[in-house]
Amino acid sequence: MDVRFEESTHTYTSALGVRVPSVTEIISAVGCGLDTRYMPAEARERGRAVHRLIAQFNADDEIDYSPEYLGYLAQWAWAMGTQFHRLGPPVIEHPIAHPFLGYAGTPDCVWPEAKVIVDAKTGADDPSYDLQLGGYCRLWIDRTQTNGWRLFVVALRNDAGGYPAIREVNAEQACRDWLNTLSVYQWRVKHGRL
């Protein structure tokens, strides 16, 4: 399914103009995600800024360096250069929607041929990250009609001399948990509980 992503509102719209819920929206709606309503504005801005830097880095674009986020970028560069470089260039922040399950998402980096999805995080590790990667994985499994995907969370800190924490997520379990989460969301929508 073709989908448009509006970054300012973090919303997805199908080619027919229908709003499509996002992976993170679904996770939050069923109470399984981080409650960002209470997240400090500077933490949300940090996440957006670091993701912009990562996208610029991955696309070999000119990087809009901000000294306050340089440590995050250095750790991402280390992860890409030492852990994932052999996979070749990734698909970077490409919005994708599921044609039948009715949701959309934008993973940070996907290597379709290698069947690897990587998502960067700037906060403390959280179990909802596994659900998020499970949602992204289900999108790509059904798009490519392949199994055997590997999922990774790269937890970045603002420490230019340190190393990021890289955690592999059990893809099979994450996909199962995602489908259960999606089912609860769809039930709540159907019965007016959202």
Question: What confidence category does residue 13 fall into, taking pLDDT thresholds of 50, 70 and 90?
Answer: very high
List, for residues 156-177, the tens digit of each pLDDT value: 999 888 899 999 999 999 999 9
CA distance 88 to 48: 25
More confident residue, 64 or 143: 143
Average pLDDT over residues 51-59: 89
Percentage of the chain lying above the pLDDT 70 cut: 100
Q: Where are the domains of the chain?
A: 3-190
**Cα-based distances in Å from 45 to 20, 36, 50, 166:** 24, 12, 8, 23
**Over 80: is that where the pLDDT of 1 sits?**
no
Q: Give ∠ CA 103-107-113 in degrees, rounded to 5.
A: 105
**Over 80: is that where the pLDDT of 38 sits?**
no
DSSP 22: B
Q: Can you tell me whether residue 111 is helix, strand or coil?
A: strand
Strands 3-6 and 11-14: antiparallel
Percentage of the chain lying above the pLDDT 90 cut: 71
pLDDT at 128: 96
Average pLDDT over residues 64-93: 90
Q: Cβ distance 169 to 130 under 8 Å?
A: yes
**152: its two tokens:** 């990774």
DSSP 83: T
Query: Other C-beta atoms within 10 Å of 155: how many?
Result: 19
25-48 core/surface letters (b: 16 or more CB in 10 A; e: else): bbbbbbebbeeeeeeeeeeeebbe
Provide the residue count of the chain: 194
Domain range 3-190, its CATH number among 3.30.43, 1.10.3470, 1.10.20, 3.90.320: 3.90.320
Report the predicted TM-score, pTM, of the whole model to 2 decimal places: 0.93
CA distance 91 to 70: 23
pLDDT at 113: 95
